[in-house]
Amino acid sequence: MMSRGKARAHANIALIKYWGKRDEELFLPMSSSLSLTLDSFYTETEVVFDSKLDRDYFYLNDKLQSEFQTKKISKFLDLFRIKKDIKYNALIKSVNYVPTAAGLASSASGFAALAAAANVASGLNLGERELSIYARQGSGSATRSIYGGFVEWREGNSSENSYAVPIDDAKWDIGMVIVIVRKSKKEISSREGMKRTVDTSPFYNAWVKSSKKDLMEIKKAIWDKDLEKLGAIAEANSLRMHATMFGARPPIIYFKPETIQVMEIVKDLRSDGIPCYFTMDAGPNVKIICRLSQSKIIKDRLKERFEDEQIIISGPGPGISYL
């Protein structure tokens, strides 16, 4: 007996960040978040449930993964197996067209693609909202990667009402320039980093409070297609998230010297009349929100300091697709 499913999901970058869980088992967040799905970064995953397999096998970029990594996937697939009473082990083959664990949202595209592939392989055939609830239980940010464009993850207060909602298809002049400062794996995962922040940072509650206001305001800016307003809110939201980490014990500092350099270049570009704004996640890489039509000018300026390969331009991306 054998059944398979294959899907693609794109990464997303949060403009209003998800940072902290109220329920770690169910991945319920402390606050709602909002992101832009990206065209340039994605994951393709195939899941095969096969009665002949003696255990689950997880290949990422053609490499058989450790027991630790495989366990995370197995636990996630159990959600589907239990629901459909599937007793078989699985072969999972995934390819990240995005650097893994470098703060470029590989876990978001990774778990969204896995959820969609398992959705077909298990025969569960969930709709997109339900699927976002499943993806959430693999990695919080994956909730949002089910949809394209601007997406809100509504925090909810139970598993059934914590899901993603598409806000705007982003079919206007908007994009991101991503500066890859370091490609290597980060020292502290988002999961660990957010937990430590919630547990020890005295600034945490203030951030949650201001984030709620940011979310309301950024939605208005999106509806108005107001890049200046949208960018300014996103930049502040990201810096305040990092401020909560500076206040943690032991502190968490994802910035590298080049991170600050990119922030300075963005400020210089702005004084030259080019609207662009930075946002950083759990890593040193910087994402610059801008008009897609001006992304080339921004890249050229960055090339005075960084290599061509370190600078990637992306437009808004689509939601999941079945392959």
List of residues contacting ligand ADP (CB under 6 A): 43, 45, 60, 69, 72, 94, 96, 100-108, 110-111, 114, 189-190, 282-283
Cβ of residue 143: shortest distance to ligand DP6, in angstroms?
8
22 Cβ contact partners less than 8 Å away, ≥ 6 residues apart: 28, 29, 30
The answer to whether the beta carbons of residues 290 and 177 sit under 8 Å apart is yes
Cβ of residue 290: shortest distance to ligand ADP, in angstroms?
21
Q: CA 21 to CA 31: how far, in whole Å?
A: 8
Binding mask 249-288 for ligand DP6 (x = CB under 6 A): --------------------------------xx------
Identify which range of 10-18, 127-135, 156-164, 296-304 contacts ligand DP6 by CB under 6 A: 10-18
Q: Among ligand DP6, ligand ADP, none, what binds residue 17 when CB lies within 5 to 8 Å by partner kind?
A: ligand DP6
Q: Among ligand ADP, ligand DP6, none, what binds residue 151 when CB lies within 5 to 8 Å by partner kind?
A: none
Asked if 164 touches ligand DP6 (CB under 6 A), the answer is no
- Between residue 124 and residue 163, which ones bind ligand DP6 under the rule CB under 6 A? 139-141
Residue in the shown chain whose Cβ atom is closest to ligand DP6:
140
Kindly list the distances between the CA atom of residue 100 and the CA atoms of 92, 108, 110, 258, in Å, as whole numbers in the listed order.
16, 11, 9, 20
Helix (H) or strand (E) holding 227: helix 227-246
Q: Among ligand DP6, ligand ADP, none, what binds residue 18 when CB lies within 5 to 8 Å by partner kind?
A: ligand DP6
Q: Among ligand ADP, ligand DP6, none, what binds residue 43 when CB lies within 5 to 8 Å by partner kind?
A: ligand ADP
% helix / strand / coil in the chain, to the nearest 5?
40, 25, 30
Which amino acid does the sequence have at 90?
A
Asked if 312 touches ligand DP6 (CB under 6 A), the answer is no
Q: CA 117 to CA 125: how far, in whole Å?
A: 10
Q: Which residue, 48 or 140, has its beta carbon nearer to ligand DP6?
A: 140
Q: CA 289 to CA 54: how far, in whole Å?
A: 47
Which residue, 83, 74, 132, is CA-closest to 108?
A: 132
Binding ligand DP6 by CB under 6 A: which of 7, 9, 11, 14?
14
Asked if 107 touches ligand DP6 (CB under 6 A), the answer is yes
The DSSP string of 92-156 is: EEEEEES-TTSSS-HHHHHHHHHHHHHHHHTT----HHHHHHHHHTT-GGGGGGGS-SEEEEE--
Cβ of residue 6: shortest distance to ligand DP6, in angstroms?
23
The answer to whether the beta carbons of residues 90 and 26 sit under 8 Å apart is no
Q: Which residue, 164 or 292, has its beta carbon nearer to ligand ADP?
A: 164
Q: Which residue, 44 or 214, has its beta carbon nearer to ligand ADP?
A: 44
For ligand DP6, the binding residues (CB under 6 A) are 14, 17-19, 27, 33, 107, 139-141, 190-191, 281-282
